[in-house]
């Protein structure tokens, strides 16, 4: 996959932009890992990435792109879990939910690793709601 170039849209550009005291790549990595907050706090897996993305998206196109990927993935995962819950009476739903949870963990870690390398990760099976 090709390396994407991002421009820094920081209106106060007096040097390197450091969101929340971190580098952009590190912030993007934390953005991908923030979905794990949902395992600790109810709805934390969508609220934390959403807050991180909404507060920093105007400052960096790189953070905006990663944030959109994470939010789209979380919305898609939620829809897939709903399908699993609806079909749970047929037993196949339990396997759907299990697959969504496993894929969520694996894809989020892969996304975090790619973000730390400065690359944008496109989550598989993600519906692009936010473009």
pLDDT tens per residue across all 131 residues of the chain: 444 555 455 444 444 667 767 789 999 999 999 999 988 998 899 999 999 999 999 988 999 999 999 999 999 999 999 999 999 998 999 999 999 999 999 999 999 999 999 999 999 999 999 98
Residue 14 DSSP code? S
Verdict on whether the full-model pTM lies above 0.85: no
Helix 61-86 vs helix 92-116: crossing angle, to nearest 10 = 170
Interatomic CA distance for residues 125 and 96, integer angstroms: 13
From the CB of residue 19, how many other CB atoms can be counted at a distance below 10 Å?
20
Query: Of 33, 29, 25, which is closest to residue 4 (Cα–Cα)?
Result: 25
């Amino acid at each position: 996959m090709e390396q994407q170039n991002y421009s820094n849209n920081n209106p106060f550009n007096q040097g390197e932009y450091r969101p929340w005291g971190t580098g952009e790549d590190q912030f993007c990595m934390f953005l991908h890992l923030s979905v794990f907050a949902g395992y600790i706090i109810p709805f934390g897996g969508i609220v934390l990435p959403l807050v991180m993305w909404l507060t920093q998206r105007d400052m960096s196109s790189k953070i905006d792109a990663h944030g959109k990927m994470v939010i789209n993935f979380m919305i898609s995962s939620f829809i897939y879990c709903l399908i699993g819950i609806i079909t749970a009476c047929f037993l196949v739903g339990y396997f759907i939910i299990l697959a969504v949870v496993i894929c969520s963990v694996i894809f989020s870690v892969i996304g975090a690793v790619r973000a730390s390398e400065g690359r944008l990760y496109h989550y598989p099976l993600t519906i692009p709601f936010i473009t």
